[in-house]
Amino acid sequence: MPKRSKISMSVIRRLPRYYRFLNQLDQDGVTRISSTELSARLGLTASQIRQDLNCFGGFGQQGYGYMVHQLAGEIGHILGVEHRYRTVIFGAGNIGHAIAAQMDFGELGFQLIGIFDNDPQKIGTVLHGIEVMDLVWFQDFYKKYVPEMAALCIPRSAIEETVSFLYGLGIRNYWNFSHYDISMKYPDAVVENVHLNDSLLTLCYEISHHDKAKKPVALLKHEK
Amino acid sequence: MPKRSKISMSVIRRLPRYYRFLNQLDQDGVTRISSTELSARLGLTASQIRQDLNCFGGFGQQGYGYMVHQLAGEIGHILGVEHRYRTVIFGAGNIGHAIAAQMDFGELGFQLIGIFDNDPQKIGTVLHGIEVMDLVWFQDFYKKYVPEMAALCIPRSAIEETVSFLYGLGIRNYWNFSHYDISMKYPDAVVENVHLNDSLLTLCYEISHHDKAKKPVALLKHEK
């Protein structure tokens, strides 16, 4: 088995896409796919896919291709989807609401067990079958249910204090929608960031520079 | 000026973070920051930051540091935040709702001018001051207002047809929350994906393997 600790983030970030794509094929009734076809449909080279999968021991046979259902299962296992990491959402605002309703946590390795907020308007409302609880009860909740992951959908103003509180209780895994760099202060925390502002700014850059590539006059005007 | 076309995505993806961080400093009244302090607070090396900024011509003076307000402005200009790309959200469900309410489009290079859905329950409702319009009117809307970017918050089942329709009209820029690989079919489209499922799966992988690193017995049990 290769050393997993050396697997690069770019390989890891491609795995969910393989997983999603193979599950879709599986649902569509495809049982086997050649590495050429898989690569064409994923927009990667066959050798790239082979290299990625080889990081985890390799799958598929030369000249035979990949068994779709089996490979999806193996990749799911590598990702750890059989886990049921107990998850709590902090913040029942727009984003908290969206992920509570939208995400199929159970299919993705997690189990949503609670939603907390400190806004009296939100406490007691029901999101996707779960009642929003008052943040003051979280310490008791933690002792009883020991949640393992916190999805952070709270405003910048409250985030630092909330993370300090959660980290103090023992939570080390965060799905972070706020603009607070958790890893800077807590280097042993496992953090996956979803920075929507950064994503939109990246798109803005891409559009701006895509336009410029086509319009040399505008390019010159903006240059120093 | 260096060739912008060669700037790697990893450099580009760090720019929004610099921008966010410098704006925060600016708001906090910080006028100047040494490259050492900037790097410490961003968790990067000073040389990494210098290299990144050098891709765009370089900023700051040796031994003097960076002028916060000016650098934020320069990076904002590189990102293109002075644009007002006319933007339409497709899908007024949970995610569409969240981004309409949450995102400060105007600060990030975009201008939200419409929200469309085909669900009679949603048409006519008002999200963040904008009335949700019936998708059947989009062609007329397009001719009149020529939106330049589409934020796609629609289910998998409708995405392929919608993108085909939008691309046919002339829209080439997409902020894509769906699990459809737009770039595969439309290689000239500018696409920024927000794949929440992939993000959660990546976190699952990270937690699983972080755990394993600490628990060698569990590691062996899961290995082949």
Q: What is the pLDDT of residues A15-33, one digit of tens each?
A: 999 999 999 999 999 999 9
**Cβ atoms of residues A112 and A85 within 8 Å:** no
The CATH code that applies to domain A85-193 is 3.40.50.720
pLDDT tens-digit map of B148-202: 999 999 988 899 999 999 999 999 999 999 988 899 999 999 999 999 999 999 9
With CA atoms as reference, the chain A residue closest to B108 would be A201
Q: pLDDT band at residue B112, thresholds of 50, 70 and 90?
A: very high
Q: Which residue is associated with the tokens 């949970």?
A: B94
Q: Are strands A173-176 and A190-193 parallel, antiparallel or unpaired?
A: parallel
Shortest distance between the Cα of A143 and any Cα of chain B, in A, equals 21
Q: Provide the residue ranges of all domains of chain B, joining segments of one domain with +.
A: 4-77, 85-193
Give the pLDDT confidence of A191-220 residue by residue, as tens digits. Answer: 999 999 999 999 999 999 986 544 443 333
3-state DSSP assignment of residue A58: coil
Q: Is the pLDDT of residue A161 over 80?
A: yes
SS3 content of chain A, % helix, strand, coil (to 5): 55, 15, 30
Closest in A13, A83, A199 to B202, CB measured: A13
Q: Return the C-alpha torsion angle A69, A75, A78, A84, nearest 10.
A: -70
Mean pLDDT of A9-15: 89
Residues of B in contact with A194 (CB under 8 A): 194, 196, 199
Chain A residues close to B203, C-beta within 8 Å: 149, 173, 175, 190, 192
- Percent of chain A past pLDDT 90, that is, above it, reads 68
Interface of A with B in 133-192 (CB under 8 A): 148-149, 173, 175, 179, 181, 183-184, 190, 192
Of B79, B80, B209, the CB nearest to A4: B209
What are the backbone angles phi and psi of residue B82, rounded to the nearest 5°? -75, -10
The answer to whether the annotation marks A95 as part of a ligand binding site is: yes
- Binding-site annotation, residues of B: 91-96
Please say whether the beta carbons of A160 and A184 come within 8 A.
no
Question: How many whole angstroms separate alpha carbon B89 and alpha carbon B114?
Answer: 6
At residue B212, the pLDDT reads 55
Whether residue A81 is predicted with pLDDT greater than 80 in this model: the reply is yes
pLDDT tens sequence across A54-76: 888 767 666 778 899 999 999 99
| Residue A132, φ and ψ in degrees, nearest 5 | -75, 125
- The nearest CA of chain A is from the CA of B75 a distance in Å of 10
Q: With a cut of 70, say whether residue A224 has pLDDT above it.
A: no
Contact B200 A101 (CB under 8 A): no
From chain B, the residues in CB contact with A12 under 8 A are 202, 205-206
- Name all contacts of B35-41 with Cβ < 8 Å and 24+ positions apart: B35/B60, B35/B65, B35/B66, B37/B65, B38/B65, B38/B66, B41/A184
Question: A83 vs B108: CB contact, 8 Å cut-off?
Answer: no
pLDDT bracket for residue A35 (50, 70, 90): confident
With beta carbons under 8 A apart, name residues in chain B contacting A85.
204, 207
Parallel/antiparallel/unpaired status of strands B85-90 and A190-193: unpaired
Residues B169, B138: Cα–Cα separation, whole Å:
10
CB B142 within 8 A of CB B169: yes
pLDDT digits (tens, 9 = 90+) for B38-68: 888 888 888 888 888 888 876 766 677 889 9
pLDDT score recorded for residue A214: 47
Distance CA A97, CA A73 (A): 30
CB–CB of B206 and A190 under 8 A? Answer: yes
Which residues of chain B make contact with A198, given a CB cutoff of 8 A? 13, 16-17, 20
**Cβ–Cβ gap B198/A13 under 8 Å:** yes
Residues with Cβ within 8 Å of residue A180, at least 6 apart in sequence: A152, A156, A159, A160, A163
Q: What is the mean pLDDT of residues A39-44?
A: 87
Note the ipTM here: 0.90
Looking at per-residue pLDDT, the higher value among A145 and A1 belongs to: A145
| pLDDT for A212 | 55
**Which CATH class, in words, describes the domain spanning A4-77?**
mainly alpha
